[in-house]
Amino acid sequence: MLYRLRTSLPWRDLPEHFGPWQTVWKRYRRYAADGTWDRMLTALLALADTTGDMDWVVSIDSTIVRAHQHAAGGAADSVSGL
């Protein structure tokens, strides 16, 4: 499963030595549904934090770009007055 996530290949292209792709996919979906992936991530984060292998750096960007509601989808030459 991790090989597939790391390489971003389609499930059907999973190498044969991992077994049938359908079996791996079903296990992946089961882990997602029952919270196994969430528990694994929580445990890995706790371990990395305890051993000092992770820095808690947070970056918050409050940039907002707004356009007028009529600005989307208009033709480029339809600007009046130019």
As a whole number, the mean pLDDT across the chain is 83
pLDDT for residue 75 is more than 80: no
pTM: 0.56
Contact 18, 24 (CB under 8 A): yes
Question: What is the mean predicted confidence (pLDDT) over 20-49?
Answer: 94
Taking the domains of the chain in order of start, what are their residue ranges?
21-54
Q: What is the DSSP string of 22-81?
A: HHHHHHHHHHHHHTHHHHHHHHHHHHHHHHT----------------TTSTT--GGG-TT
Question: What is the mean predicted confidence (pLDDT) over 55-63?
Answer: 73
